Amino acid sequence: MSRGTRAIIDLAALRFNHQKVRQLAPNSKIWSVVKANGYGHGATRIAQALAASTDGFAVATLDEACELRQAGIDKPILLLEGTASAGQTGVACEENIELVIHNPEQLQWLVEQKKPARVWLKIDTGMHRLGISVAQVAEFAKQVSNQLHLTLVGIMTHLASADEPDNPQTDEQLAQFAQAQALLPNVQHCISNSAATVSLVDTHANWIRPGIILYGASPFADKTAKQLGFKPVMSLLAPVIAVRNIDVGEKVGYGGNWTAKRPTSVATLAIGYADGYPRHAPNGTPVWLNGQQVELIGRVSMDMITVDVTDLAHVELGDEAVLWGEQVSVDTVASACNTIGYELLTRRSLRVPLQFRD
């Protein structure tokens, strides 16, 4: 049974964000990215909430794809990294999963399966993580087209620096991809991640693949999701489980890295790094409690954090704090912790239950 620590998932906000994305790219189809358990939000429920409005879903692993199929999701599903073995390839074909190919082995597995499959070629345009080179595109496309059971649906790439609008790497990557497009003008094209969906209209192409913006967090270091017009989907909540008063000079937490400079009221909250709250969150990280912003004090423990509630009129056991959500954005907390909202959302632990609201 939960200690009261929970994450509320606002499905109405999710649908709002999806509609916002549709407005940003009205001529593109949408792969809604639900990998990593829907960025920590619960992939199945997220997919069910978007099934009527999205054009398809994108995932990172075959298990993620199969989970959606088992939940009754019949929209197209794209396996972004492709399969990891011949056996996985057979399962993916049986489940009607669209497959990304980024190496010769994956193509050979598909050839040997002799099962119908829809295929995307991943082009390495300069990120050097996954993908075939532009020089390999024609040969790979020919091999796919020579197999009657395979359909070459499109080509795709990933932009390494779309979150930095002035970074010249993006133009270099787009120039590389344009060469691949010229070789295969009659297939579909997919380029845009969340950052490109928002800031690079010329990359929208036939398909876009928004991820983090669907969940109401920002892909940019200098802009919050609220500034971009998106609503937070997750609110991470934890109750107060203790309140105590300490004197000037007394220390709080492991290592005593916070020292009271005034008589201080300290509230302990039932959340820690085992729940997914970042262990490296520094003193001063904002928390929302009883209608007011308070500050984290002392090191984050496995199961608890402590906050300074001296300036609150009244705090008692059971009062609920917001670690991130509408009042304190996950982007703000991530910035304080020198990380990104993606990490905070996806690291929510299984002992923090999800509660879904429309």
Residues 204, 298: Cα–Cα separation, whole Å: 45
Domain count of the chain? Answer: 2
Picking from 174, 192, 217, the residue at the C-terminal end of a domain is 217
358 residues of the chain, pLDDT tens digit each: 689 999 999 999 999 999 999 999 999 999 999 999 999 999 999 999 999 999 999 999 999 999 999 999 999 999 999 999 999 999 999 999 999 999 999 999 999 999 999 999 999 999 999 999 999 999 999 999 999 999 999 999 999 999 998 999 999 999 999 999 999 999 999 999 999 999 999 999 999 999 999 999 999 999 999 999 999 999 999 999 999 999 999 999 999 999 999 999 999 999 999 999 999 999 999 999 999 999 999 999 999 999 999 999 999 999 999 999 999 999 999 999 999 999 999 999 999 999 999 9
Residues 224, 327: Cα–Cα separation, whole Å: 13
Same domain, 80 and 168: yes
Same domain, 17 and 64: yes
Same domain, 43 and 180: yes
Residues 287, 317: Cα–Cα separation, whole Å: 16
Same domain, 309 and 169: no
Residue 224 lies in a domain: no
Instruction: Report the CATH number that the domain containing residue 128 is assigned in CATH.
Output: 3.20.20.10
Give the H or E element holding residue 32: strand 29-33
Same domain, 113 and 262: no
What is the span of the domain harbouring residue 267?
234-357
Residue 59 lies in a domain: yes
Residue 222 lies in a domain: no
Residue 46 lies in a domain: yes
Picking from 186, 217, 248, the residue at the C-terminal end of a domain is 217
Picking from 184, 217, 250, the residue at the C-terminal end of a domain is 217
Residues 111, 89: Cα–Cα separation, whole Å: 10
Same domain, 50 and 199: yes
Which residues are catalytic, by number?
35, 254
Which residue type sits at 107?
L
What is the secondary structure of 184-239 as a DSSP string?
A: -TTSEEEEE-HHHHHH-GGG--SEE---GGGGT--S-SS--HHHHT----EEEEEE
Same domain, 212 and 241: no
Same domain, 194 and 338: no
Q: What predicted TM-score, i.e. pTM, was given to this entire model? A: 0.96
Same domain, 239 and 313: yes
Residue 126 lies in a domain: yes
